[in-house]
Amino acid sequence: MQTPFYKHTSVLLAIAFTAGVGVGSLSDSLNAHESQASILARSAFIQDLTRDTSVASVGQVLAYNIYEGDVVDEKVGDDESASDFIPAEDEAAPVIPKKIKSLPSQLTVPVVSCDVEVVKKPLHKATPVTKAQSIMMDPSGVIRVSMLYRNDGTTTWFSEQSGCASAGAGVIVQLGTVQPLDHDSLFASSDPVSGWVASNRVMMSSGRVNPGEEALFTFDIKAPIHEDVYREVFEMVIPGVTWVAGSTSSLDITVGVPYDEETSKKKLLYINGSGYGSMIDVNAEKRVEVDLSEQKAYVKIGDYLVREFSVSTGARKTPTPVGTWKVLFKQQARIGGASPHYIMPKWQAIRPDGYGFHALPVLGNATLRAKIRGLGPDQEVPTDWFTNDAFWSEALDHIGTPRSHGCVRFLPEDAAYIYDFTDIGTPIEVRK
């Protein structure tokens, strides 16, 4: 008789899925969505891993103690709520499986039909359901992770192991490493059943994914021997055809205990693309450089380029002043004193005469302005308050061109990042 897997504490496996968390997000929330149980059920690839290996999602966590040779529930019954799979604070989750099956010994791709309709003008579009995961593991440890992508295009996706490539049906898709493009991953495994087909490519675990369905990519992560924090960024690719824009997802991986918690968070916040934390001195001076000719803002710490953003600076008749300034003060949203009282989220004043950084402005109305004034000083203004504002929507097309009244405008998500990055007194250099 086998011991239920939740009784063992020798090996910790956690499979973490996060939907809607962007690359760089540092949320400490551990709230799980009801969809986690069904996602776990679809994974069906949980396997024996090295000892003392764990993973924690940014935003959501599923954790299980699994011992080699034990079993897990492959399918969750309809009467099971997702809360049954959420560990209570400071204690393990006593999950009792109702349907017991042995863990698969290797990754397998199911047999599928290769028949598809011909698409004259194919649209390749993939939306990450799992945008980011945060993993903790031991040096040289191995852990199996999964990512979900929704097929929002018009072509059918196939795994290269589906047997459909020679028939010319649909397209073969993979995950490829990016930032930089197609680099050799430090976490790739040469094991033929690891899910990696090369040091820069991961195969799709689902055999066939029709438009509107979700694809599963399950693969092993093998940690380097050096303790550090790492980021690995992926994007979907159709080999020999195209990289699928807008399909970026990432893994933040902490190997060992390289830094204190605050330092690790800062390094992961600053890592630009695929990279590692030891290249960044978190105590170096922060600064932001704005190039008016390029309509770009460069966020730096020391000599390390943290982020590069397209911006919209002052128009010809209302130019952004050139010079070296600094962040004077911040407001979650600033409302202009003169008519028409523009609303400027994520405001950072860089000069005492009214110039600053902010997200795209909103014209709004008296009701919206009163609503914003009713918020606390540190309360964020939800972006969805502005989605029906014609002025805000029209300004989306201005990024990359000089259109402002002298301030430096950012896209909402970029403004939020730089707002969190800077401190009062951070130097700002504006050059032609």
pLDDT 10s digits, 55-91: 333 332 222 222 233 333 333 333 323 323 333 333 3
**In CATH, what number does 5-279 get?**
2.60.40.10
| pLDDT, tens only, 273-315 | 999 999 999 999 999 999 999 999 999 999 999 999 999 999 9
Q: Which two structure tokens, joined as six digits, stand for 36?
A: 């986690």
pTM: 0.69
Q: Mean of the pLDDT values across residues 127-136?
A: 95
Tokens 């020999």 correspond to what residue? 240
> What pLDDT was estimated at residue 169?
63
pLDDT at position 339 over 50: yes
Convert the pLDDT of each residue in 96-109 to its tens digit. 333 222 333 345 66
Lowest-confidence region among 35-39, 325-329, 396-400: 35-39
Mean pLDDT along residues 349-374: 90
Which residues of the chain form CATH 2.60.40.10? 5-279
| Mean pLDDT, range 338-356, rounded to an integer | 90
CB atoms within 10 A of CB 105: 9
pLDDT at 41 over 70: no
Type of residue numbered 262: E
3-state SS string for the chain:
CCCCHHHCCCCEEECCCCCCCCCCCCCCCCCCCCCHHHHHHHHCCCCCCCCCCEECCCCCCCEEECCCCCEEECCCCCCCCHHHHCCCCCCCCCCCCCCEEECCCCCCCCCCCCCCCCCCCCCCCEEECCCEEEEEECCCCEEEEEEEEEECCCCCEECCCCCCCCCCCCEECEEEEECCCCCCCCCCCCCCCCCEEECCEEECCCCEECCCCEEEEEEEEECCCCCEEEEEEEEEEECCCEECCCCCEEEEEEECCCCCHHHHHHHHHHCCCCEEHHHCCCCCCEEEEEECCCCEEEEEECCEEEEEEECECECCCCCCCCEEEECCEEEEEEECCCCCCCEEEEEEECCCCCCEEEECCECCCHHHHHHHHCCCCCCCCCHHHCCCCHHHHHHHHHCCCCCECCCEEECHHHHHHHHHHCCCCCEEEEEC
Amino acid at 408: V
**Terminal Cα distance for the chain, rounded:** 74
288-431: CATH topology is L,D-transpeptidase catalytic domain-like (2.40.440)
Check: CB of residue 128 under 8 Å from CB of residue 250: no
Interatomic CA distance for residues 234 and 280, integer angstroms:
22
Residue 378: count other Cβ atoms within 10 Å of its Cβ: 8
Q: Looking at residue 336, what is its pLDDT?
A: 84
Residues spanned by CATH 2.40.440.10 within the chain? 288-431
Q: Residue 380 — very low, low, confident or very high, per pLDDT cuts 50/70/90?
A: confident
Percent of the chain with pLDDT over 90: 55
pLDDT of residue 242: 94
Q: In the prediction, which pLDDT does 166 show?
A: 61
pLDDT band at 429 (very low <50, low <70, confident <90, very high): very high
- Pairwise CA distance, residues 24 & 36, whole Å: 22
pLDDT in tens, 202-253: 999 999 999 999 999 999 999 999 999 999 999 999 999 999 999 999 999 9
